Structure 1
Amino acid sequence: MGTQTILIAVSLSLATLLLIWLSLVMAAAESAVSRVTRSSLNNLILGLQTDNELSQFSRMKRIDKVHKVQSLIIDRHATTGSCAFFRVTSNIFTGVLVACLASLFDLPEWSDLVIGLVFAFIVAFVSVKIRPRVNGARKPLDIMLKHVKVVSFAVKLTPFARSSRSEMMAKSGRDSDLSDDEELEKLQIEQGRAMVDQLVEAGAFDPEISEMLDNVLTLSTTLTREIMVPRTDMICISDETTLSSALKLFSRSGFSRIPVIGDDVDDLKGVLYLKDVVRSIAFDPDSEGRVVAPLAREAVLVPESKPVDDLFHYMQKTRHHVAVVVDEYGGIAGMVTIEDAIEQIVGELEDEHDRIQHEQPQQVGEHEWKLPARTPIAELEELFEIDIDEDDVDTVYGLLTKLLGSVPIVGSSAVTRGLRLTAADAAGRRKKIATIIVEPASQYEAPEELAKEGARESA
């Protein structure tokens, strides 16, 4: 055998091995792409954004991989079709190359064809039935992240795979952006809801119980962003605040857990617990002047796209009652508690301390009014015969929030146009300001100083 023949044999062997590898990769990806869920990708991005051990370069590189996988599962049918096309093509060319390789040894032509066909069949069998498919089913996310570049390249080379998307969706009746697990869960929810409706019609349950059962079935389709307290309504505390001031804020706000921040809300330092502050002051009264930063516990972060049922089980399992919600860019979107998830099932939760908001303004003094927080500014102008001229807010609560520059709590006050607005009380489990006292400001008070004072009190 000459040198040229040896080089050809080596080249064919390497090409054959490359095609075998490509066939196995495409088989694994074909199985994995239908099992990767959107929630798992969102959770992975959150984990990467909060992993302090990673460098910025490594973090962005891995997040870019996740984004590529997200683009692949937008049209699962097209991605699966591309993987299947390259898997079959690789198997065919593997048989052809093996047949060419066998022809170098001066074997009969029929034996070259038989060897090529048998080898192609073996590779096809292995790629479909053995380890690649198993790994794709057990570790779909790992498979897709490992081979995302190869799969993306295969999808780009097979644009014709997208043309059959509508036809395949019509035949299967499936949404292309759902994984197999998500499709099964959707079917089970629909079946469960139909069963609940039948039981209600048969009189097996009270209307309240049937409503709760229906709420349970909708937990998987309700996202955390729909039940969270938005960042604009969050009560936060600076990491340089003293323990005595923190204790006053706990008392006035009615909350037992408050986020600790640095320069702004996105600079989250942790979560401060009332019981930690009380314990620290009770055992060491001299600690009242210390800052709260050392007592802040590590905050639990959850993505805003997390389904409420997953959120509830996660918080129940980790024994956390409050979590900070982050958006897709890693910024703080809001807060959520385990009670928020429970309320999605049983409805609004209130205790004996919750006050009912007045529906109409009440005059409590000669020139003093108690107004519901949502009273329009126009009504306030009419009561006191003044022109406030605030175009970017519509309610008395919004006006007080704008004057303070932060979320009002009970006792917060500010002055504008000769009127003093004071947050009187809170209502509901979320302790939102329910009523605001409006009265003429004292002629001896400087409006600017009072506004600053109120802002400091609510900070």
Structure 2
Amino acid sequence: MIDAWTLAAVIIMALVALSLVSFSLMVASSETAVSRVTRASLNNRILEVQTDDSIGHLAKAKQIDKIHKVQRLIVDRYATAGSCAFLRITCNVFDGVLVAAIAMTLCSPLWGALVAGAVFALAVAVLSVMLRPHSTEDSKPVDVMLHYARIVSLAVALTPFSKTGEERKARRRAGAGDLSDDEELEKIQRDQGRAMVDRLVESSDFDPEVGEMLRNVLTLSETLTREIMVPRTDMICVDSSSTLEQFLQLCSRSGYSRIPMIGDDVDDLKGMVYLKDAVRAMAFNPGARKRKVTSIRREPMLVPESKPVDDLFHQMQRTRQHVAMVVDEYGGIAGLVTIEDALEQIVGELDDEHDRIQHSKPEKIGKGKWRMPARTPIAELEDIFEVDIDEDDVDTVYGLLTKLLGRVPLVGMHAVTRGLKLTASDTAGRRKQVSMVVVEPDGLDSDSEEGRFDDNETEDEAKDTEQNDR
């Protein structure tokens, strides 16, 4: 028979155990919320409180004081989370001890008391873990931290040793790149997003292509503009002294509709010239063909080469620009980027009905005449025609043709070297780069004819054409 004192002790231990269970669940919620609260969200909450006329001055002061307390807690975010985790585990252990003590008080055998305590402690631990991701604090971490600010402050005060581990983590973060607290939180959230996408893609009813696009979206902020731009060596430019007729011919040959206008060189950028502006100017006024392209110039959009692609995409959306000039750290022109370059980072290569697929290997199309992909190595060209090109600074047929011409080749342009005539014959891709080069014996003396121009035009005419094609 249990006397009154024993029953009172059992009731007290049961109430303490239930209190520890409740405390453990609150600490578990705070442990999740503290990793999701940012300084920006707390600053926004302060502004909301200060501008809320429905709250009295005393209530505002109390809420702002509580927000300041949360701000102090997230200064050492990982130390705070460690304190919460330590107290949660400690509460679970004491719950098991109390349940075991209650069982022994009720005359249970030792092994039964131990099993009861262990089972209860495990049940509370599982309950705290299961409730944590499905509760409302995941979507409102600021509210949770404000609600449990005093409890979390108590947890931090009771576990001063947690800051020791935080100091080691801070030193490792400083050695790894000195990320700020919010930047590291953003990195963690990106990693969690990738893991979530991977789990979605693994499901059998999820489209793999959609999964790939989701992965690409998550990497936009890590991709810089310099990685997707057209380098300045591959840019087609128009000289500011050219006429609208010459500009129209250049657009027809290159396949571009938006071309940078330059002065003495690429770094002397004058503006952008659009094909639709030229067509509009000449459609009902044939005499406008002789007007200079400066009459239809537009102000160029300039972006730094270190700009993340997601910021670039949003900026081009806001300004309604489809093309931008990329500037390096010294103020020079590094290249050109379009809004489709940014889109391709998400959906992949965009081809239209005019794009042609490049052949994977050189193809013989006549007696001694070969059609080669632009990226064919020079070594393969040497093997086919049994010649020694001896060019150390270029590796492909396209690079060789570009070096011989001294500029970006367009379809129809050709040059001769080592008795071989190289002709740009085809374009592919949205950027309209030369994709195929026809190589054939020229039949002329290579030493005197290397790099010569078309038979039907003089060298002076070729130079004039080159000047206009810029």
Please state which band the TM-score falls in when normalised by the shorter chain.
Answer: 0.5 to 0.7
Note if contact 2:237-2:469 (Cα within 8 Å) is conserved in structure 1. no
Note the aligned Cα RMSD (angstroms). Answer: 2.8
User: Mapping of 1:123-134 within 5 angstroms?
Assistant: none
The equivalent of 2:152 in structure 1 is none
Question: How many Å apart are 1:391 and its aligned residue?
Answer: 1.8
Sequence identity (%): 64
Alpha carbons 2:240, 2:292 under 8 Å: kept: yes
> Cα 1:400–1:408, aligned 2, differ >3 Å: closer, same or farther?
same
Residue aligning to 2:325: 324
- How far residue 175 of structure 1 moved from its aligned partner, in angstroms, is 5.9
The residue identity in structure 1 corresponding to 2:256 is: F
Q: Classify 1:319/1:426 alpha carbon distance in 2 versus 1 (closer, same or farther; 3 Å).
A: same
Task: Give the distance between the partners of 1:282 and 1:442, measured in 2 at CA.
Answer: 45
Distance 1:426 1:374 in 2: 13
More moved, 293-302 vs 382-391: 382-391
Cα distance in 1 for residues equivalent to 2:319 and 2:182 = 24
Q: Are the structure 2 counterparts of residues 190 and 423 from structure 1 closer, same or farther at C-alpha, using a change threshold of 3 Å?
A: same
- Is the 1:169–1:175 contact (alpha carbons within 8 Å) kept by the matching residues of 2? no
1:330-369 counterparts in 2 under 5 A? 330-369=331-370
In structure 2, what is the equivalent of residue 226 of structure 1? Answer: 227
Superimposed CA distance per residue, residues 71-93 of structure 1 (whole angstroms, 9 cap, x where no aligned partner) = xxxxxxxxx9xxxxxxxxxxxxx
Looking at structure 2, the residues matched to 438 and 300 of structure 1 have their Cα atoms a distance apart, in angstroms, of: 39
Correspondence for 1:274: 275
**Relative to structure 1, is the Cα distance of residues 186 and 174 closer, same or farther in structure 2, using a 3 angstrom cutoff?**
farther
Number of the residue aligned with 1:399:
400
Matched, 1:415 2:416: yes
Structure-1 separation of matches of 2:403 and 2:226: 24
Matched residue pairs, number? 299
Residue 153 of structure 1 corresponds to which residue in structure 2? none
Which residue type is aligned with residue 453 of structure 2? L
Q: Contact 1:361–1:372 (CA<8 Å) still a contact in 2? A: yes
Match of 2:303, as an amino acid?
V
Judged with a 3 Å threshold, the aligned counterparts in structure 2 of structure 1 residues 366 and 274 are, in CA distance, closer, same or farther, namely same
CA contact (8 A) 2:375 2:398 kept: yes
Q: Establish whether residue 250 from structure 1 lines up as the match of residue 251 from structure 2.
A: yes
Question: Per the alignment, do residues 194 and 446 of structure 1 end up closer, same or farther by CA in structure 2, a change over 3 Å counting?
Answer: closer
Which structure 2 residue ranges, 5 or more long, are not aligned? 1-38, 41-74, 76-164
**Structure 1 residue 433 displacement after superposition:** 0.9
Within-5 A mapping of 1:10-21: none
Counterparts of residues 54-93 of structure 1 (less than 5 Å): none
Q: Distance in 1 between matches of 2:451 and 2:169?
A: 67
| Deviation (angstroms), 1:443 | 4.9
8 Å contact kept, 2:244–2:291: yes
Query: What amino acid sits opposite 1:285 in the alignment?
Result: P
Q: TM-score, normalised by structure 1?
A: 0.60
Residues 283/210 of structure 1: CA separation in 2 closer, same or farther (3 Å cut): same
Offset of residue 209 of structure 1? 1.0
What is the CA–CA distance in structure 2 between the aligned matches of 1:380 and 1:448, rounded to whole Å?
Answer: 17
Instruction: For residues 76-121 of structure 1, give each alpha carbon's deviation from its aligned partner in whole angstroms, at most 9, with x where no partner exists.
Output: xxxx9xxxxxxxxxxxxxxxxxxxxxxxxxxxxxxxxxxxxxxxxx
SS at match of 1:219: helix
Structure 1 residues 280 and 441: CA distance shift in structure 2, 3 A = farther
Distance 1:290 1:447, change over 3 A: farther
Q: Partner residue of 1:307? A: 308
- Which amino acid is the alignment partner of residue 336 of structure 1? V
Paired residues of 2:173 and 2:179 also in contact (CA < 8 A): no
Q: Deviations over 1:252-309 (max 9, x none)?
A: 1111111111111111111111101111121321121222123221110111111111
The structure-2 alpha-carbon separation of the partners of 1:448 and 1:200, relative to structure 1 and needing over 3 Å to count, comes to closer
Q: Using the TM superposition, give the Cα deviation of residue 174 of structure 1 relative to its aligned residue in structure 2, in angstroms.
A: 9.9
Which amino acid in structure 1 is aligned with residue 342 of structure 2?
A
Specify the structure having the higher radius of gyration (Cα): 2
Q: Which runs of 5+ in 1 are unaligned?
A: 1-33, 36-79, 81-163
**Which deviations, in whole Å up to 9, do the C-alpha atoms of 1:8-52 show, x marking residues without a partner?**
xxxxxxxxxxxxxxxxxxxxxxxxxx99xxxxxxxxxxxxxxxxx
Whether the aligned pair in 2 keeps the contact of 1:221 and 1:307 (CA below 8 Å) is: yes
Question: 1-side partners of 2:232 and 2:450: how far apart?
Answer: 28
Match of 2:27 in 1: none
Check the 8 A contact 2:238/2:469 in 1, yes or no: no
Once the two structures are TM-superposed, the CA of residue 165 in structure 1 deviates from its matched residue by 11
- Aligned AA for 1:206? D
Deviation at 1:346, TM superposition (A): 0.7
- Equivalent residue number for residue 198 of structure 1: 199
Cα 1:382–1:219 change in 2 (3 A) is same
> Contact conserved, 1:169 with 1:176, CA < 8 A, in 2?
no
1:450 is the counterpart of 2:453: yes
1:179 Cα deviation (Å)? Answer: 4.2
Residue-by-residue CA offset, 1:184-242 (whole Å, 9 max, x unaligned): 43232122112212222233521111111111111111111111111111111111122
Give yes or no for contact 1:407–1:458 (8 Å, CA) kept in 2.
Answer: no
Give TM-score, length-normalised by structure 2: 0.59
Alignment of 1:279-298 (within 5 A): 279-298=280-299
Residue type of the alignment partner of 2:320:
R
Aligned partners of 2:221 and 2:309 also within 8 Å: yes
Aligned equivalents of 1:386, 1:226: Cα separation in 2: 36
Aligned AA (1:222): T
Contact 1:408 1:458 in 2 (8 A): no
Contact 1:375–1:396 at 8 Å: present in 2 too? yes
